[in-house]
Amino acid sequence: MAFKKALIELGLEREEAVIVSGIGCHGKMINYVNVNGFHGIHGRVLPIAQGIKLANPKLTVVGFAGDADQYNEGWSHLAHAVRRNINMTLIVHNNMVLGLTTGQATSTSQPGFKSKSTPFGVIPPMLNPSAHALVSNGTFVARGFSGDMLHLKSLIVEAIKHRGFAFIDVFQPCVTFNYLNTYDWFRRRIYKLEEEGHDITDRQKALEKALEWGDRIPIGIFYKKERPIYRDNLPHVKDVNLTKLPTENIDIASTLKEMM
């Protein structure tokens, strides 16, 4: 809903947007939003989405992943997408549990969280995706909450407008399998960074805020700073849509000559 509203606010035509989803409860996203869509396999939203954006920079590309999808199966792709800084957005539906497979722990489940795969409680500490994105040289790192749709919508709008790779981790409680991190649980803890005068250009402060967890949990934009996007360093295709280039009559005579 927040995403649909964001698309309307941005004034995007259906044909201009592509959403890519992975495997998890979020995966059906492409069935619910009538824009271009690619429902891929578990953990691989980012490579698919980056492939699309590299090929056709005119498209607005938004990836949707789940916490197990991105932070377990696809964890390595996140760091590389963040540092590569291709101009796209990633929204992770983080419910801190594997819902589609009926309730196992993920890497963002809290220590002690009892699930079907951890009957005595999760042993290791949680991964921190926002802090991870910041230390991987992220240019837009934010966190949202599905219990505050208007706030989330504004984050999505900002993320899509950002020139570079924008990452939003979204708390989206699973009402079926997460008995611990519920809407109420979040509502009691969440506060908005922008209401406490957080400086979104200060990476050190952003990291401090991203590491905050417990009685108070921040949402909003942690950090935002532009740096050249991946394509800026490809002078030959900087403003080129590869889908518009000719496929026929590519003359390789000069390369053949060099081989003689």
Helix axes 75-84, 45-55, angle to 10 degrees: 30
Instruction: Choose the stretch contacting another protein; rule: CB under 8 A; options: 76-84, 149-157, 169-177, 207-215.
Output: 76-84
At residue 234, φ and ψ (nearest 5 deg) are -115, 80
**Minimum distance between the CB of residue 242 and another protein, rounded to whole angstroms?**
4
**Minimum distance between the CB of residue 32 and another protein, rounded to whole angstroms?**
10
| E strand or H helix at 65 | strand 60-66
Kindly state whether residue 37 participates in binding another protein, applying the rule CB under 8 A. Answer: yes
Instruction: Choose the stretch contacting another protein; rule: CB under 8 A; options: 108-116, 128-136, 190-198, 244-252.
Output: 244-252
Length of the chain: 260
Instruction: Choose the stretch contacting another protein; rule: CB under 8 A; options: 15-23, 93-101, 177-185, 208-216.
Output: 15-23
Kindly state whether residue 8 participates in binding another protein, applying the rule CB under 8 A. Answer: no
Kindly state whether residue 136 participates in binding another protein, applying the rule CB under 8 A. Answer: no
**Minimum distance between the CB of residue 69 and another protein, rounded to whole angstroms?**
13
- For residue 19, what are the β-bridge partners? 37, 62
Amino acid identity for residue 96 in this structure? M
**Minimum distance between the CB of residue 26 and another protein, rounded to whole angstroms?**
13
| Radius of gyration for the chain, computed over Cα atoms and rounded to the nearest angstrom | 20
Query: In whole angstroms, what is the distance from residue 70 CA to residue 26 CA?
Result: 11
Query: In whole angstroms, what is the distance from residue 33 CA to residue 41 CA?
Result: 19
3-state SS of the chain: helix, strand, coil percent to 5?
40, 20, 45
Kindly state whether residue 245 participates in binding another protein, applying the rule CB under 8 A. Answer: yes
Kindly state whether residue 102 participates in binding another protein, applying the rule CB under 8 A. Answer: no
Three-state DSSP at 96 gives: coil
Residues near another protein (CB under 8 A) are 13-16, 18, 20, 27-28, 30-31, 34-41, 43-44, 46-52, 54-56, 58-59, 76-77, 80, 234-237, 240, 242-248, 250-256, 259-260
